Structure 1
């Protein structure tokens, strides 16, 4: 057999969790043709991988690049980490399904910039746009419960009528038939937060019939995190659907340590059901700044919320509730504004605040930080994003090595100097996967190398039901990363986030060398991936 590429003498870590072994990997077109001793095999190119790990390309199980890839498909911050597949559509917020009556509100609910006009209505039309867009890596897309609800009944805080629930089911069927790998929820974001458990179960039964899974940004990650895990597990049981708990954490100092209770629930449920969770190796999250606005103020959608923040009679109540909470605010935690850093500020006038904490910006202006936060949300039209330091390192160290965990960045793809390179983002968009190897494998010794690779490859591929991906086996698609296990590390920091990771030498996507010793290919070969039938 003549190969297009032979990767020589690397430590092959195949994505199953099995111990690595030194071998050669031969690639023919888009597939792995052979693994073994290929020193004398004819090939167009040889890659010397001595002292390097050869692994399946990493799968980011929780990503928010839904629109990013339509603006700039190079996805450089992800490719340079070794990522070859992004799972988008997380947290219930997807660009489709949509129609003109809710299009503007849905745009303003999506996290970060909305990147141009939305020329689609259905989920199938959105996926066609994504298929047509040149992109460096693959994409598997979830459909968002929030988008489904908005398309069927708007942003109102009420339960659906029987006809509206049937409309939501039809939209779910259409998305799954189009190629969605599952459904996500964002139960802290409008309009998803207005849906009750029975609604989630009804829609999840539809998803389950297509072999999809349920990915949930739960109803609460703070005081009600234990109850929220119970709700998530109930949806899984009653809908007979695999469960993926998104970016699992306990937010707010008063809730640190509760992950030991929630993990006990997850571990017990996983004995009889497919229950997993994703996590990133940082103690800060990121979201729209308006997540810190009480739920009642969001009713009716972003424009209605912005009107309330401008209303001199309602604004004092918003300010009060942001500080003290409300009885029905499941995700409330007490905010120290020194822990809330501004990641993206849309207004040119206020752009100087990017990278500062809200407290620091307010101090420079002699302003109250809560009042300043509301002004930013209004001036930016709900586009302001934050990095929020709300997690305990001990909780991350406890959860990440667990067998039910996978690695998800919860970030998006950036290419500095391009249309997606703006802002002061969370460093996870540049460093999540290398950071796991640097800190959890090398420094802390909390993970075997093979287990870390498994959490990034074979385990998510199985959850997604991807066809012949996520493992290095003959006949599988040749998505491959080659990295130095002693040098791979993240360089992006909260102060200087736009810094690429180190130690990843080659990234191969469907047999094409996309990253070649630091040089990115101009040929973009990524595909939209769907569930194996």
Structure 2
């Protein structure tokens, strides 16, 4: 192991300004280019040199021979917004990400992004954060604010109000509109309603990011849901991004090649379509979202609990939940990851209660709707999506799943080293440059002069996750150094306690914005 704490303090600097830090002699993967053995020099918050040899003085030099030096990784789909705004300064550092080399994250995904994007981005000023972040405005949050949880179309006035909220959020720095059309009440919206709001984001240079309406066979089916997201992008004339692309459940396993063909046909016709993926065969959701039919969720939790007590609905509700459980692979394939039943499968909960799995699920939901890990994907589909050049690395970081602490490290250890599905360069590029370039993060995702100094140095022999489904909060190992905006955030595999992150507002590239 290279002792990165050792440093060389050089003599008096010549007239040229010295670098603050030189990372010396590592194998540099610059992001979107061929790797080389060389140096990366940093002054202030910027890279001032990346090449074979930095012939400049430096206040500090860190030896990185044998290490991989890469742009800080960028996670395009997370749920760390509460962590970033926490009153706990240590929590705001996001150590689970830093110790994987992740220096930038997107929040507000799945339609949950707050409409007041100015406030979301402004929080970093009062409460400094450990990583950079960008934010979506969420279709779900906008619809909830105007229409509520009802299963109905908006009135003309309501639609106008929702469009105005999206336009305002874009003008305040949102990077686009996110949706979670699988989830009620977002699932109650028709395509034309979603497209109307997406056009407001597209008119201002934003991206349409979607947890699609169906990743399985719940409603319209996987293929139709992919067709819908592509159609919305075409109607709104904007790039589209498919969140955590997958084929979920036994009915659609094996459909990855067909989905890839649909996306590549859209690309061939000039559309911009990308996706992200986490490297696990279990998705993460809630027990309600996994099992309860959408009709029973109409009106929110209070209405659902009343339906549980309605004897006239019992047979229908149990039958629909049983069918959804079948699609998920049965009760042994649902692991509860929070609450009183944490660490038990639904099958184990049912045995403990002495009832069938559906009755056990209803009893659990009555108390709390817990997060679950749902084992529902095939390795063949995971690998097929991973090979697609338009699929980037993401975590979908959410409670109780090891993907929060391990996605980037697992993709490297499992799919670069062990399975050899993608190359090391592909891993780096699709974890940094592809994401930055796709979403217009100027100065991020590349190691080159003038770029922001977000850098990760990891040991290719030891970089790996430790998080498991049983112990999902174990941090990754093998990252030796991380800089965020030129400041050392991780050194010798330990979080340095430095809050060097920044909010990254998107600047509208076209369209009108009111003066603010």
Superposition TM-score, scaled by structure 2 size: 0.90
Of 35, 50, 66, the match for 1:20? 35
Other-structure match for 2:94: 75
User: SS at 1:81's partner residue?
Assistant: coil
Of 286, 289, 304, the match for 1:288? 286
Contact in 1 for aligned 2:41/2:54 (Cα 8 Å): no
Contact in 1 for aligned 2:77/2:394 (Cα 8 Å): yes
> 1:37, 1:336 → 2: CA distance?
55
Does 2:84 align with 1:90? Answer: no
> 2:506, 2:437 → 1: CA distance?
10
Other-structure match for 1:376: 364
Other-structure match for 2:162: 168
Does 2:413 align with 1:443? Answer: no
> 2:166, 2:54 → 1: CA distance?
51
Other-structure match for 1:56: 71
Contact in 2 for aligned 1:257/1:395 (Cα 8 Å): yes
Contact in 1 for aligned 2:48/2:449 (Cα 8 Å): yes
Of 179, 201, 209, the match for 2:203? 209
> 2:200, 2:461 → 1: CA distance?
46
Contact in 1 for aligned 2:108/2:135 (Cα 8 Å): yes
Other-structure match for 2:308: 309
After alignment, is 467-476 or 122-131 more displaced? 122-131
Other-structure match for 2:402: 427
> 1:37, 1:250 → 2: CA distance?
43
> CA separation of 1:8/1:377 partners in 2, compared to 1, >3 Å: closer, same or farther?
same
| TM superposition shift of 1:511 | 0.3
> 2:124, 2:338 → 1: CA distance?
25
Contact in 2 for aligned 1:73/1:134 (Cα 8 Å): yes
Does 2:279 align with 1:260? Answer: no
Larger Rg, first or second structure (1 or 2): 2
Contact in 2 for aligned 1:92/1:183 (Cα 8 Å): yes
Map 1:323-338 to 2 at 5 A: 323-324=322-323, 333=327, 335-338=329-332
User: SS at 1:166's partner residue?
Assistant: helix
Q: Which runs of 5+ in 2 are unaligned?
A: 1-16, 510-516
> CA separation of 1:426/1:334 partners in 2, compared to 1, >3 Å: closer, same or farther?
closer
| TM superposition shift of 1:277 | 0.9
Measured against aligned partners, the alpha-carbon deviations of 1:109-130 in whole angstroms (never above 9, x if no partner) come to xxxxxxxxxxxxx332333235
| TM superposition shift of 1:50 | 0.4
Superposition TM-score, scaled by structure 1 size: 0.87
User: SS at 2:78's partner residue?
Assistant: coil
Measured against aligned partners, the alpha-carbon deviations of 1:132-155 in whole angstroms (never above 9, x if no partner) come to 322110111111111111111111
Contact in 2 for aligned 1:323/1:334 (Cα 8 Å): no
Other-structure match for 1:101: none
Kindly tell me the number of residue pairs found equivalent between the two proteins. 483
> 2:197, 2:343 → 1: CA distance?
39
User: SS at 1:400's partner residue?
Assistant: helix
Other-structure match for 1:128: 122
Q: Which runs of 5+ in 1 are unaligned?
A: 98-121, 326-330, 346-350, 413-422
Other-structure match for 2:4: none
User: SS at 2:110's partner residue?
Assistant: helix
| TM superposition shift of 1:68 | 2.1
Of 468, 471, 476, the match for 2:446? 471
| TM superposition shift of 1:320 | 2.1
Measured against aligned partners, the alpha-carbon deviations of 1:159-201 in whole angstroms (never above 9, x if no partner) come to 1111111011001011111111011111111111011111111
Map 1:85-484 to 2 at 5 A: 85-94=104-113, 96-97=114-115, 122-223=116-217, 224-271=221-268, 272-291=270-289, 292-324=291-323, 333=327, 335-345=329-339, 351=340, 353-380=341-368, 382=369, 384-412=370-398, 425-484=400-459
User: SS at 1:90's partner residue?
Assistant: coil
> 1:429, 1:48 → 2: CA distance?
30
> 2:93, 2:358 → 1: CA distance?
37
Contact in 1 for aligned 2:40/2:54 (Cα 8 Å): no
Other-structure match for 2:7: none
> CA separation of 1:309/1:45 partners in 2, compared to 1, >3 Å: closer, same or farther?
farther
Contact in 1 for aligned 2:93/2:498 (Cα 8 Å): no
Measured against aligned partners, the alpha-carbon deviations of 1:468-497 in whole angstroms (never above 9, x if no partner) come to 111111011000000112221112111222
> 2:242, 2:388 → 1: CA distance?
14
> 1:502, 1:457 → 2: CA distance?
19
Of 24, 27, 40, the match for 1:11? 27
After alignment, is 122-131 or 139-148 more displaced? 122-131
User: SS at 1:491's partner residue?
Assistant: coil
> 2:119, 2:22 → 1: CA distance?
39
> 2:364, 2:173 → 1: CA distance?
38
| TM superposition shift of 1:442 | 1.4
> CA separation of 1:307/1:319 partners in 2, compared to 1, >3 Å: closer, same or farther?
same
> 1:63, 1:494 → 2: CA distance?
18
